[in-house]
Amino acid sequence: MEKLERALGGVKNMGGLPDALFVIDVDHESIAIKEAKNLGIPVIGIVDTNSNPDNVDYVIPGNDDAIRAVTLYASAMADAILAGKEYAQSQANAQAKGEEAAKEAPEA
């Protein structure tokens, strides 16, 4: 039971399907990629010279074996996701303020 919780525990808290799947080793994660393709989820993958890029929507050429490279890819992707979420939140806040100001403005 503990192994199941460790492997799938995060899935129960998901609000729905993910917007994308990021994969470091496209050969090793081929089942996850096939499932994502069946669900219409775009796949972003690190593709090494010995990997097949056919099922990857957004190919990032790179070494998927070196620990330093994998750390770099994961860190860059996490930073990009956080920056994107922050940007989306700031855009939503700006739009809400604009709509609020439009409601309060006198009609011409």
DSSP class per residue in 52-85: --TT-SEEEE--SS-HHHHHHHHHHHHHHHHHHH
d(CA 26, CA 54): 10
d(CA 81, CA 21): 12
> Under CATH, to which class is 1-65 assigned?
alpha beta
Above 80 in pLDDT, residue 43?
yes
- Going by pLDDT thresholds of 50, 70 and 90, the confidence category of residue 70 is very high
Which of the two residues, 41 and 5, has the higher pLDDT score? 41
What pTM, to 2 d.p., does this model score? 0.75
Above 90 in pLDDT, residue 62?
yes
Domain boundaries, the chain: 1-65, 66-108
Strand partners, 23: 45
